[in-house]
Structure 1
Amino acid sequence: MRTIFAYLFAFLGIILCTPYHLYLYLLAKKDQEKAYRHAQKLVKGFFGIVMFICGAKCTVIGLERVPKDQPILFVGNHRSFFDILCCHNALDRPLGFMSKDGILKVPILPWYMKDIGCTFLDRSDLKKGLETIMQSADIVKSGHSMMVFPEGHRNNGEELLPFKDGAYKIAQKAGCPIVPVSICGTDNIMEANKHNFIRSHKVVIEFLDPIDINGMKPKERKEVLETIPGLIQEARVKNLPLATKK
Structure 2
Amino acid sequence: MTGATTRVVTKPGRDTRWNRLLYGFFRQIVSNSLRMWTRGTVEGKENLPDGAFVLAPIHRSYIDTPISSWVQMRRLRYLGKDTMWKYDWIGKLFTAMGAIPVHRGTIDREALRRCLDALASGQPVVLFPEGERKDGPEVHPLLDGAAFLAAKAKVPIVPVGIAGSDRAMPRGAKVVYPRKIHVIVGEPIMVETNGRSRASREQLNATTVHLRAEIQRLYDLAQTRIS
Query: Does 1:225 find its partner at 2:208?
Result: yes
SS in 2 for 1:57: coil
SS in 1 for 2:39: strand
Distance 2:176 2:91 in 1: 23
Quick one: structure 1 residues 136 and 187, their matched pair in 2 at CA, closer, same or farther if it must change by over 3 Å? same
Distance 1:57 1:90 in 2: 15
Query: Does 1:37 find its partner at 2:20?
Result: yes
* Bigger share in helix: 1
Query: Does 1:141 find its partner at 2:124?
Result: no
Contact 2:151–2:191 under 8 Å retained in 1? yes
Quick one: structure 1 residues 130 and 236, their matched pair in 2 at CA, closer, same or farther if it must change by over 3 Å? same
SS in 1 for 2:40: strand
Query: Does 1:81 find its partner at 2:59?
Result: no
Distance 1:49 1:60 in 2: 12
Query: Does 1:160 find its partner at 2:110?
Result: no
> Which residue of 148, 169, 172 corresponds with 2:151?
172
Contact 2:161–2:215 under 8 Å retained in 1? yes
Quick one: structure 1 residues 99 and 167, their matched pair in 2 at CA, closer, same or farther if it must change by over 3 Å? farther
For 1:112-138, what per-residue CA distance to the aligned partner results, in whole angstroms no more than 9, with x for missing partners? Answer: 321133212212233xx1221122111
Q: Indicate the residue corresponding to 1:209 in structure 2.
A: 187
TM (norm. structure 2) is 0.81
Quick one: structure 1 residues 195 and 39, their matched pair in 2 at CA, closer, same or farther if it must change by over 3 Å? closer
What is the CA RMSD across the aligned residues, in angstroms? 2.5
Query: Does 1:62 find its partner at 2:36?
Result: no
Q: Indicate the residue corresponding to 1:236 in structure 2.
A: 219
Q: Indicate the residue corresponding to 1:7 in structure 2.
A: none
Unaligned runs of 5+ in 2: 1-10
> Which residue of 32, 53, 71 corresponds with 1:90?
71
Shift of residue 51, structure 1, vs aligned partner? 1.0
Quick one: structure 1 residues 197 and 41, their matched pair in 2 at CA, closer, same or farther if it must change by over 3 Å? closer
Contact 2:77–2:125 under 8 Å retained in 1? yes
Query: Does 1:116 find its partner at 2:94?
Result: no
Shift of residue 195, structure 1, vs aligned partner? 4.4
SS in 2 for 1:173: helix
How many residue pairs match? The answer is 211
Shift of residue 215, structure 1, vs aligned partner? 3.9
TM (norm. structure 1) is 0.76
Unaligned runs of 5+ in 1: 1-24
SS in 2 for 1:209: coil
Distance 2:32 2:203 in 1: 44
Distance 2:135 2:86 in 1: 25
Shift of residue 89, structure 1, vs aligned partner? 2.8
Quick one: structure 1 residues 166 and 130, their matched pair in 2 at CA, closer, same or farther if it must change by over 3 Å? farther
